[in-house]
Amino acid sequence: MEINSLVRENIKKLKPYTSARQGYLSGILLDANENSFGSVVESNLQLNRYPDPNQNILRDKLSNYLKIKKENLFVGVGSDEIIDLLVRIFCEPRIDNVIITEPTYGMYKVACDISNVAAKTVPLNNEFQLDINSIKNSVDENTKLVFCCSPNNPTGNLLYKKNILETAKSINGLLIVDEAYVDFIESGSSIDLINEQNNIIVMRTFSKAWGLAGIRAGYCIADKSIIDYLFKIKSPYNLNKMTSDIILSALDNIQKKNYFIEQINQQKELLINQLKKNKYVDKIFPSDANFVLVKFKNGKYLYDELVKKGIILRDRSGQLNLQNCIRITIGNEEENNILIKELERFNEENIY
Ligand SMILES: Cc1ncc(COP(=O)(O)O)c(C=O)c1O
């Protein structure tokens, strides 16, 4: 696909800001109006200096870990930044549109709404899989992006890869596959599809399995031309030095991430087994993520009662086809035991 033809004219013409640190990261740096005396906070990160706008050291290491080329990698302030940047690169406000496969993560629509870009909903099918025909029918000449999420939030299921590929082939825009939760399953990533279809973008985050939601870091893997546009429009120093430094440390500690995944998956199984015994549970949806979507007899009531006990779940009953559904993040053993106890109490006391 000719990626350039999808880009907004003003972005193509844009002369990007050239930052001082673009060219030189060391030497006698009198080019950026930094504080040459140092920083009020002691650190070995040289916090008085702006970070590398090209994210070079970080992208070298992360691309190595992902076994991809550095030129295909962009790191953002969470995947949320990348969602917003993609909408702004490709979608002309009030003219172009985006397809969102619902029910799914809410930020795709919010990013469109902020940019005044129409977001068209195409429901996932009964199994929460991509409905390729509906997507094909909804696409028009102004459809620039299709967002899907695999494993999907909040339903928890992985999308069939063959459907992802077929969808990408059938559209004249970009297909974004949000893999925020992909670490929780052993296989099924769409990363390799990027070599087959240059209109697929895979997005990931350090906020889930890596346990680094607080540092705000997500990344995407895509055709070089897309990565170049992301660099062109991002704010010059989007990724701060502390965040980069923590990611570098995280990449030296992959076994800890794997340990977390093991623990979370174990706890998930225990929780699901308990939920199966609860008579107020209508349905437990299969989960490939670190959460499970559960349909209760009276979701709203259960949600409110648990809030009173200080247990906060995510009420998803307002989303398309998710009446009475609550999303439960898998907690640690102690948290899960408290939750299970409370759910058992409801069960026994016939509170509903
Ligand atoms: C599907 C999905 N994508 C992206 C994000 C946000 O990721 P980040 O923290 O990297 O912005 C979330 C967070 O809940 C999510 O569920």
**Fold exhibited by the domain 255-349:** Aspartate Aminotransferase, domain 1 (3.90.1150)
Question: DSSP string covering 200-261, please?
Answer: EEEEEESSSTT--GGG--EEEE--HHHHHHHHHHS-TT-S-HHHHHHHHHHTT-HHHHHHHH
The pair of structure tokens assigned to 25 is 């990261």
Q: How many angstroms is it from 81 CA to the middle of ligand 1?
A: 10
Q: Is the CB of 178 under 6 A from ligand 1?
A: yes
Task: Report how far residue 69's alpha carbon sits from residue 223's, in angstroms, rounded to the nearest whole number.
Answer: 10
Outline which parts of the chain fall under CATH 3.40.640.10: 3-252
Question: DSSP string covering 248-305, please?
Answer: HHHTT-HHHHHHHHHHHHHHHHHHHHHHHT-TTEEEE---SSSEEEEEETTHHHHHHH
Outline which parts of the chain fall under CATH 3.90.1150.10: 255-349
Query: In the Cβ-directed half-sphere of 346, how many Cα atoms lie within 13 Å?
Result: 23
**Each residue's pLDDT tens digit in the chain (352 positions)?**
899 999 999 999 999 998 888 888 889 999 999 999 999 999 999 999 999 999 999 999 999 999 999 999 999 999 999 999 999 999 999 999 999 999 999 999 999 999 999 999 999 999 999 999 999 999 999 999 999 999 999 999 999 999 999 999 999 999 999 999 999 999 999 999 999 999 999 999 999 999 999 999 999 999 999 999 999 999 999 999 999 999 999 999 999 999 999 999 999 999 999 999 998 899 999 999 999 999 999 899 999 999 999 999 999 999 999 999 999 999 999 999 999 999 988 777 665 5
Q: How many angstroms is it from 277 CA to the middle of ligand 1?
A: 31
Residue 23 is predicted with a pLDDT of 80
Residue minimizing CA distance to atom 8 of ligand 1? 78
Helix (H) or strand (E) holding 132: helix 132-138
Query: Has this prediction a pTM greater than 0.95?
Result: yes
Helices (H), 6-115: 9-13, 56-66, 78-90, 107-114
Residue minimizing CA distance to atom 12 of ligand 1? 180
Q: Is the CB of 315 under 6 A from ligand 1?
A: no
pLDDT tens, position by position, 59-68 = 999 999 999 9
**Fold exhibited by the domain 3-252:** Aspartate Aminotransferase; domain 2 (3.40.640)
Q: Is the CB of 243 under 6 A from ligand 1?
A: no
Residue 20 is predicted with a pLDDT of 84
